[in-house]
Amino acid sequence: MKLFGSALILSGTALGAGMLAIPMVLAQFGFMVSAILMLVIFVGTTYSALLLAEACTKAKDNVGMSSIAYLTLGRKGMHFINFLFYLLLVCMLIAYIIGIGDLLHKMLLDLGLELSPSQCYTVFSLVMGFVVVAGKSYIDKLNRALFIIMVVMLFVVIASLLSNVQWDYLSQASNFTSGDVVQYSAVIFTSFASMVVIPSLVIYNHEASAKQIRNMILLGSIIPLVCYLTWLFAIIGNLGTEAVSQFDNISQLIAAFSGQAAMLKPIIAIFSALALVTSFLGVSMALFDQNKDALTENKLVSYGLTFVLPLVLAKLFANEFVSMLDYAGMVLVFLAIWGPLAMVLKVRNPHFEHLNRDNTYTAGGGNIALVLTFNFGALIFISWFMG
C-alpha cells in the first residue's frame, strides 16, 4: 500500500496540470494527433523518471535533489540544479494555486458565498501546508483518499459524456502545422512530468527493491496517460475542437457543460478541484523537502518558503495558469531530462566515489536510450522558443 500510495502521489502530481490544461491546449489538433503526441511525450518522461530513480538509488547519503546533485555533479552542478528545481516548483505551485483559487471562487459563489480567488487560495494553501509539514505518511493517506474519490468522479463524468459523444467531432482539427504541434509540446510535457516528487518518494520507500521502485514509477506514469486520453476523448467528443480551443481558463471549460445533465457541472468542478489538490500536495511536498535539504532544517522557515512565498507570487501572475505551465516546461527540460541524464552518466562511471551498492536500480536501454532521451529533451527545448 505504501508503494501504491507513492504511485498515486506521482499520478496526482501530474494530473492536476494535465486534466485541466490538456483539453484547452490540444483540442485544436483533434483527437488522433493529440493522442500520438501524448504517447511520445509519455515515453520520454517515463524513461527520464526512471533515470532519476536510478541516480537516487545509486547516490550514497541521498536526502533530496540537492544532495543528489552535489554527489553526482559537484558544487556548481548542485547550485545549477537547485536554481532550476526552485524555479520549476514555484512555477508549478503558482499554476496550481491560481487554478485552485479560480475553482473555489466559482464553487463558493454557487453556494452563495462570495470570496475572491486570492482569499480562496490563500486559506487553502496555508491550511494544506500543515498536512505537508506533518510528514509524508499523512500526505500519502490524504492523497490516496482524494485520488480514489477523484477517479470515481472521473468515471462518472466520462460515463455521462460518452453517451453524448459525436464521432464527427473526434476527426475535427483546425488548420495547424507540425510547428504548431511542437510549439505546444512543452505544456503537455509539464502535464506528464511528475519527477519533482521522485527523490522524496525514493527516500520514503527506502526499503523497496529495485523492481518495486521501477513498477511504482511505471504505474504512476501510466495512470495519467489513461486518464488524459479518456478525458480528451470525452471532452472533444462532446464539445468539438473549435469550442474547446476557445477556452482560456478552467471555469470556462466547466461552464461549457451547463447544458448537460444537471449534476454533471458540479461533479466536473469537484473533480477538477481534486486534481489540482493532489498536484498541489505532490509539488509542495517536493518544495518543502528541497527547502529542508538545501536551505534549512527549521520547519517554520521551510513552511514560510514553501507556502507563503508562492502565494505572494501568485498574486502577481493571476490568470496565467497555462502560461506558468509553459514556463515550467522550459525549466523541466534541464531538470527532468538532461539533469537525470548527466547524473546517470556519473553514477554509471566505475570510478564514481559515492556509489551506493545496496539495492540499486538501473534503467534499461543502454546508450541508445540515453541518446534518444537527449534528443527528446532537445525537441521540448526547441518547442519553447516557438511560442
Q: What is the pLDDT of residue 368?
A: 92
Higher per-residue confidence, 323 vs 207 = 207
Q: Which residues contact 338 (CB under 8 A, 6 or more apart)?
A: 374, 377
Domains, the chain, with CATH or none: 2-385 (1.20.1740.10)
Considering the chain, what is the average pLDDT of its residues? 78
- Please report which confidence band the pLDDT of residue 180 belongs to, taking 50, 70 and 90 as the band edges: low
Digit-coded pLDDT (tens) for 13-59: 777 666 767 777 777 777 888 888 889 888 988 998 899 888 888 87
Q: Among residues 47, 57, 67, which one has the least CA distance to residue 348? A: 57
Whole-angstrom distance between the N-terminal and C-terminal Cα of the chain?
42
**Model confidence band, residue 322 (pLDDT cutoffs 50, 70, 90):** low
Taking residues 363-371, what's their average pLDDT? Answer: 88
pLDDT tens for each residue of 86-139: 877 777 788 788 778 887 888 788 778 888 878 888 888 888 888 888 888 888
Q: Contact at 8 Å (CB) between 96 and 283?
A: yes
Residue-wise pLDDT for 203-216, tens only, equals 888 787 888 888 98
Portion of the chain with pLDDT greater than 90, in percent: 2
Of the ranges 135-139, 251-255, 356-360, 370-374, the best mean pLDDT one:
370-374
- Given pLDDT bands bounded at 50, 70 and 90, which one contains residue 372? very high
CA 185 to chain centre: 14
75 falls in which pLDDT band (50, 70, 90)?
A: confident
Q: Calculate mean pLDDT across residues 331-339.
A: 77
Max avg pLDDT among 63-77, 210-224, 247-261:
210-224
Report pLDDT digits (tens) over 130-157.
Answer: 888 888 888 888 888 888 888 888 788 7
- Measured distance CA(120)–CA(102) in Å, rounded: 8
pLDDT at 309 over 70: yes
Q: What is the pLDDT of residue 320?
A: 59
